[in-house]
Amino acid sequence: MKTSKFYTEERSSVVENMEAIIDTAKVEGRELTEAETTEFDSLNEKANSLESMAKRAASFESLQASKASKSNEVTEENTPKEMRDYSFQDAMKAAYTGSLTGLVKEMDQEARNQARYTGQMYKGIAVPSAVLEARAVTTSASNSVEAMSFTDQLEANLVLASAGANFYSGVNNMKFPVISGISTTFVAETGGSVSAAGSTSSLTLSPQKCISIVEVSAEAMTQNAGIEAALRRNMAASVAAQLEKNLLSSADNSDGGPQSIFADATDGGATLNTAGILAMESTVLGNNVPLLGGRFAYLCNADALAIIKTLVQASGVEAIYDNRDKTINSYFSFVSSNVGFKSSSNFDNVLFGDFSRVHIAQFGGLDLLFDPYTSAASGVGRMIATSLVDGNAVDNDTAFVQIETTS
C-alpha cells in the first residue's frame, strides 16, 4: 500500500485536470463535448477511487502509529487484578527453588487445566495464555513498575506485524481458506451452465516449539521490580527475532520451525536496481493481487537499503527512496537483518508484497524451566522458556516477490 500522501497528491492532480476541462468549456461558452464528458467521467471515477485509497492508507498509517505507541503505553483497562499482579520474576524464583506458592501456583494449575484441551505439555512452571496477554504492574518498597504484556511485546518486536501481517495470540490450531482457479464468464440468456474450475484449500498454523534461554543470577531474581519489565521485553524480543529469522531466511528451514516466506516468494532475479524494484511491483500486481484491502510494503536488510537510497526513478532525477516517509517508490518500507538471512553471510535482499496475506500466531502458555548446572561455573543459572508460535502466508508465491543478490 502506498502512503495516504501519495494518493492525496494523485487525486489533487486528477481534480485539476477535471477543473481544466470545465474551465475550457466555460471560457468558450459551450457545453462539454462528448469526448470531454467521457474524459471528465473517467477522471471523476479515478478521483473517487484515489480518495478511497487515501482513506484506507491513512487508516493503515494510524494502525502503525498505534502499534508504535504501544511500547510506551500501559493501562490496566479490562485486565483482571490477578493477571496484572503475576510476576515472571516470581515464576523464575519458583522454577529456581522448585517451590510453587501463591499466584504462581494458582496460574500454573490454570495453565495445566487448559492444557487438557490444547494438548500442550509442561515440564517446568506453566504460565497460562491469559497471563501472557495481561499487562503487569509490579510493586516494591520503593517503586511501582508497569510492564507490557508478553504478547504485546512479541507483536511490537515483529517487523512483519509493522508491515501489515496479522498477529493472533492465545489460540489453538488455525486454518485460513485459500481459494484459487475460479473461472467466470458471461453466457447468453438461454445459454447453458458453465462449470467453474475453482478449488479450496487451507493454510494451517500449528504450534511450533521455540526455546529461549536467559542466563540469570540468583541476585538478579531477588532484585527490585524493574527486572520484571526487562524479562518480558527480552524474552519476547528473542522469540520475535527467531520467528522472523525463520520466516524471512534465504531458504526453508530444516529445524522443524516455520518455513520461509522469502524463500517461497516469486524469484525477482539477483539485480538490485531501479528496473528490478519496479519489476517487483509489476510482478505482484500482474498476479492479480487486489490493491484494495491489501497492505503492500517492502522489507529489506540494511545493505539493500543502502543501495536503494542511491537509486533514482526512470526520469533520472527523483530518488526512489523517500527519507522523510521511509517509503520505496511510495510504498512503506521496513528494515530487518533477517530478510534473506543466510548462516554464512547476508547479501542485498528485498521482499515486496501484500503483508495482509501473512498470519502469525502465538499458541497457549509459556513453559519455564530452570537449569542450574550448565553455566554454574559462571555463577548463573539458565532459565529455559518454551513458547509455541507459527507463521506463514496465503498465496505466498503470487503475493510476494523477492530479489536475492549473489554477492
CB proximity list for 339: less than 8 A, separation 6 or greater: 248, 262, 299, 300, 301, 304, 349, 350, 351
| Pick from 288, 300, 260, 291: nearest CA to 393 | 260
pLDDT tens digits for range 180-232: 556 677 777 776 666 656 666 678 888 899 998 888 776 776 665 567 777 78
pLDDT at 248: 92
Q: How far apart are CA 133 and CA 390, in angstroms?
A: 17
Q: How many CB atoms lie within 10 A of CB 96?
A: 18
pLDDT at 141: 46
Q: How far apart are CA 92 and CA 150, in angstroms?
A: 15
Beta bridge partners of 266: 401
pLDDT at 274: 93
pLDDT at 26: 92
**SS3 annotation, 217-272:** CHHHHCCCCHHHHHHHHHHHHHHHHHHHHHHHECCCCCCCCCCCHHHHCEECCCCC
Q: Is 355 helix (H, G, I), strand (E, B) or coil?
A: helix
Q: Identify whether the C-beta of residue 37 lies closer than 8 Å to the C-beta of residue 368.
A: no
Alpha-carbon dihedral sign for residues 338, 342, 345, 350: negative
| Pick from 214, 238, 239, 240: nearest CA to 227 | 214
- Strand pairing category for 331-335 and 296-300: parallel
Extract the C-alpha cell encoding 27. Answer: 471560457
Beta bridge partners of 323: none
| Pick from 405, 402, 371: nearest CA to 386 | 371
The model's pTM is 0.73
Q: How many CB atoms lie within 10 A of CB 34?
A: 8
Distance (Å) of CA 68 to CA 45, 62, 71, 164, 229: 35, 10, 6, 13, 17
Q: Which residues of 341-350 are buried (b: 16+ CB within 10 A; e: fewer)?
A: beeeebbbbb
Q: For helices 34-70 and 4-27, what crossing angle results, to 10°?
A: 160
pLDDT at 72: 45
Extract the C-alpha cell encoding 240. Answer: 520475535
- Name the stretches of the chain with pLDDT < 70: 1-2, 59-60, 62-82, 135-147, 177-183, 191-201, 218, 221-226, 289-293, 343-346, 376, 406-407
pLDDT at 223: 63
CB proximity list for 224: less than 8 A, separation 6 or greater: 140, 142, 143, 145
CB proximity list for 244: less than 8 A, separation 6 or greater: 158, 159, 160, 336, 338
Q: Identify whether the C-beta of residue 382 lies closer than 8 Å to the C-beta of residue 215.
A: yes
Q: Identify whether the C-beta of residue 319 lies closer than 8 Å to the C-beta of residue 311.
A: yes
Q: Cα angle vertex 162, ends 396, 84, to 5°?
A: 120
CA atoms within 13 A on the CB side of 107: 29
pLDDT at 315: 74
CB proximity list for 166: less than 8 A, separation 6 or greater: 356, 358, 359, 360
Extract the C-alpha cell encoding 292. Answer: 484494495
pLDDT at 149: 80
Query: Element (H or E) spanning 161, and its range?
Result: helix 159-163
| Pick from 242, 247, 240, 241: nearest CA to 261 | 247
